Amino acid sequence: MKKELPVAITLILAILYVLANYFTGVAFLDTAKNLLDRWYLIVAAWAVLVGSINLTQIHGRRISGKREGWIFSVWLLICLYGMMFFGIFVAKNASHPGWTFMYNQLIAPMNATVYSTIVFYIGSAAYRAFRVRSPEASVLLVTALIMMLGRVPLGRMLLGGHPALSQMADWILNVPNSAGMRGIQIGACLGGVATALRIALGIERGHLGGTGE
Amino acid sequence: MSIVTGYSFAFWVEILFLVAVIVMIRRARGGMKIPEIYKVAGLEAMDEAIGRCTEMGKPVHFSPGIGDLQNAQTLAAMSILGYVAKQCARYDTDLIATNRNVIVYPLSEEIVKQSFAEVGKLDNFKPDNVRWISDDQFAYATGVTGIMFREKPAANILVGAFWAESLIFAEVGSIAGAIQISGTANTHQIPFFVAACDYCLIGEELYAASAYLSKEPVLLASLVAQDWGKMVGVVLIVVGTVMASVGSNALGTLLSK
Over residues B72-114, the pLDDT tens digits come to 999 999 999 999 999 999 999 999 999 999 999 999 999 999 9
Identify the domain boundary among A80, A107, A134. Answer: A107
Pairwise CA distance, residues B130 & B109, whole Å? 6
How far does A8 lie from chain B, in Å, by closest CA? 17
Nearest to B78 by CA among B51, B48, B46, B112: B112
Pairwise CA distance, residues B212 & B43, whole Å? 8
Amino acid at residue number A55: L
Residue-wise pLDDT tens digits, B177-235:
999 999 999 999 999 999 999 999 999 999 999 889 888 888 888 888 888 888 998 99
Same domain? For A12 and A99 the reply is yes
Same domain? For A66 and A134 the reply is no
Which of A61, A102, A193 has the most B C-beta neighbours within 10 Å, making it the best mutation to test the interface with B? A193
Residue-wise pLDDT tens digits, B111-160:
999 999 999 999 999 999 999 999 999 999 999 999 999 999 999 999 99
Angle, CA A19 vertex, CA A16 and CA A24 arms, to 5°: 125
**Would residue A112 count as lying in a domain?**
no
Cα torsion through A98, B144, B191, B64, rounded to 10: -100
Q: Do A129 and B195 touch (CB under 8 A)?
A: yes
Same domain? For A124 and A174 the reply is yes
Between the alpha carbon of residue B94 and those of residues B62, B83, B87, B183, B204, the distances in Å are 11, 14, 10, 21, 29
Same domain? For A94 and A147 the reply is no
Which of B79, B88, B110, B232 has the most A C-beta neighbours within 10 Å, making it the best mutation to test the interface with A? B79
**ipTM (interface pTM):** 0.89
Other beta carbons less than 10 A from residue B122's beta carbon? 13
How far does A161 lie from chain B, in Å, by closest CA? 31
**Would residue A114 count as lying in a domain?**
no
- Give the relative orientation of helices A118-129 and A135-151 as an angle to the nearest 10 degrees: 140
Identify the domain boundary among A107, A136, A151. Answer: A107
Residue-wise pLDDT tens digits, A75-90:
999 999 999 999 999 9
Q: B208-225 b/e with 16+ CB inside 10 Å = b?
A: bbbbbbbebbbbbbbbbb
pLDDT at A213: 47
Q: B241-257 b/e with 16+ CB inside 10 Å = b?
A: eeeeeeeeeebeeeeee
| Nearest Cβ partner for A54 among B105, B137, B171 | B105
Angle, CA B183 vertex, CA A145 and CA A213 arms, to 5°: 165
How far does A160 lie from chain B, in Å, by closest CA? 32
* Segments of chain A scoring below 50 in pLDDT: 212-213
Same domain? For A42 and A79 the reply is yes
Q: Do B118 and A43 touch (CB under 8 A)?
A: no
pLDDT at A209: 62
How far does B55 lie from chain A, in Å, by closest CA? 24
Residue A204 half-sphere exposure, CB side, CA atoms within 13 Å? 35
**Would residue A205 count as lying in a domain?**
no
Beta-carbon contacts of B199 under 8 Å, excluding residues fewer than 6 positions away, are: B41, B42, B45, B180, B181, B182
pLDDT at B36: 80
Mean pLDDT of B11-32: 89
Q: Do A111 and B103 touch (CB under 8 A)?
A: no
Q: Do A210 and B114 touch (CB under 8 A)?
A: yes
Same domain? For A17 and A59 the reply is yes
Same domain? For A91 and A156 the reply is no
Give me the domain span that covers residue A191. 120-200
Same domain? For A97 and A148 the reply is no
- Give the relative orientation of helices B204-214 and B72-90 as an angle to the nearest 10 degrees: 40
Residues in chain A closer than 8 A to B115 (CB atoms): 209-211
Identify the domain boundary among A75, A107, A139. Answer: A107
Q: Do A194 and B225 touch (CB under 8 A)?
A: yes
Pairwise CA distance, residues B176 & A178, whole Å? 34
**Would residue A50 count as lying in a domain?**
yes
Same domain? For A17 and A86 the reply is yes
| Nearest Cβ partner for B136 among A23, A26, A111 | A111
Beta-carbon contacts of B45 under 8 Å, excluding residues fewer than 6 positions away, are: B179, B181, B198, B199
Q: Do A188 and B187 touch (CB under 8 A)?
A: yes
| Nearest Cβ partner for A206 among B79, B203, B230 | B79
Length of chain B, in residues: 257
Beta-carbon contacts of B56 under 8 Å, excluding residues fewer than 6 positions away, are: B154
Q: A65-81 b/e with 16+ CB inside 10 Å = b?
A: eeeeeeeebeebbeeee
Residue of A nearest to B141 (CA): A114
Residues in chain A closer than 8 A to B192 (CB atoms): 122, 125
Same domain? For A101 and A37 the reply is yes
Q: 3-class DSSP state for residue A3? A: coil
Same domain? For A12 and A56 the reply is yes
pLDDT at A116: 95
Q: Do A47 and B105 touch (CB under 8 A)?
A: yes
- Strands B155-161 and B179-184 turn out to be parallel
Of residues B1 and B248, more confidently modeled? B248
Mean pLDDT of B51-77: 95
| Nearest Cβ partner for A125 among B17, B192, B223 | B192
Evaluate if residue B246 carries a pLDDT over 90.
Answer: yes
Same domain? For A54 and A130 the reply is no
Residues in chain A closer than 8 A to B2 (CB atoms): 23-25
- How many domains is chain A built from? 2
How far does A199 lie from chain B, in Å, by closest CA? 9
Residue of A nearest to B186 (CA): A185
pLDDT at B53: 98
| Nearest Cβ partner for B114 among A40, A181, A209 | A209
Pairwise CA distance, residues B213 & A67, whole Å? 38
Domains of chain B: 8-33+217-255 (no CATH), 41-212 (3.40.50)
Instruction: Give the distance from CA A127 to its chain's centroid.
Output: 25
